Amino acid sequence: MARNARRSARRVPDRKQAPKGNKAPRQRARGRQLGRPSAWVQEHARAALGSLGRMWRNPVANGMTAAVIAIALALPASLWMLLQNVERATAGWDAGARISVYLEPGLDSSAVERASNEIAARESVRVLERISPDEALEEFRSLAGFEDALSALDGNPLPAVVVIEPAADTPRSASALESLAKTLDDIAGVDRVQVDLEWVERLYALLDLIERGVGLFAVLLAAGVLLIVGNTIRLDILNRRQEIEVTKLIGASDAFIRRPFLYGGLWFGLFGALAAWLLLAVTGMLLAGPTARLASAYGSGFRLSGLDGAESLGLLGAGLALGLLGSWLAVGRHLRAIEPG
């Protein structure tokens, strides 16, 4: 018995004396598991590549869908680009806006000087020219051609005029100019204030109207993109109805089934936005030459500009968001209606 006990003791190794090198394979295996992407990332990558592969297998129909989305995105973007160029071209048109302040007729020279100095003391204006009654009469005589009629007058009926322009920090708006004209009209000796910016205000009012129209047009076309993407995803769901039923029978979750369709909408939005950006870039290059020649004919150095980096990213983001939203609405509505049996 003592001999058998000694043999058993030799066969059972001491745990404390177990080689430490056995832990190394387990540590290496754990390191490989940590270095691998998670199952969630793998499933999303598989769904994204699978939806892209299905689009590639049917290039004609999917290409036409992406082209329609591109046109729907390019139309409001092109109008926005045109509006920005028009605003940039007309940005300096109100820089030379002039305000004519007519003093009361019959003021003596000291009263004219006091009124002119009080106008010039305002921080919101900059005096460009002071025209005395005699200078105004001489200018009117040289322009009007009524020398004999003016010579028959007993006195000079023309008032003194102070020509000013708003300061650089004064807002170029109808309300700001109206407030400035009211403050100038309250000065003693001022008879009337005339603002020569009415046509510029009409232009800016027209630009504001066009800007709102572009916004409404963009909303309508965005709804059209949602309908296009939603209808495309709906047809894809109906074509794969049996596959979805079998997938639900084996226990797949709704999130697993929904994932490829959502990525399909993202791909449609991305390709449509890229095509829209390319269409706008080509249009800008085609119009750059004629625009430059027209500007040079008017002595201007204006050059047509396209979308900048932020606006390009906004266009891509809008395409992705509309594609994802359209596919989400379509999947959420039609996927619940498909059940096994």
Query: What would the pLDDT profile of 278-287 be if each residue is shown by its tens digit?
Result: 999 999 899 8
CA dist 176 and 182 (Å) reads: 10
Percent of the chain predicted with pLDDT > 70: 79
Our CA angle for 237, 241, 243, nearest 5°, is 110
**Is the pLDDT reported for residue 218 higher than 80?**
yes
Sequence spans of domains, the chain: 40-91+202-334, 99-196
Q: Any residues with CB less than 8 A from the CB of 71 and at least 6 apart, and which?
A: 276, 279
**Is the pLDDT reported for residue 205 higher than 70?**
yes
CB contact at 8 A, 150 and 141: yes
Residue-wise pLDDT tens digits, 219-233: 999 999 999 998 998
Say whether domain 99-196 belongs to CATH 3.30.1540.20: no
DSSP for residue 16: G
171 versus 160: the higher-pLDDT residue is 160
**Is the pLDDT reported for residue 92 higher than 90?**
no
CA dist 303 and 287 (Å) reads: 10
Residue 266 Cα distances to 47, 48, 134, 159, 220, angstroms: 12, 9, 75, 71, 20
**How does residue 288 score in pLDDT terms, banded at 50, 70 and 90?**
confident
Phi then psi dihedrals of residue 123, to 5 deg: -75, -20
Of 65, 72, 71, 76, residue with least CA distance to 230: 65
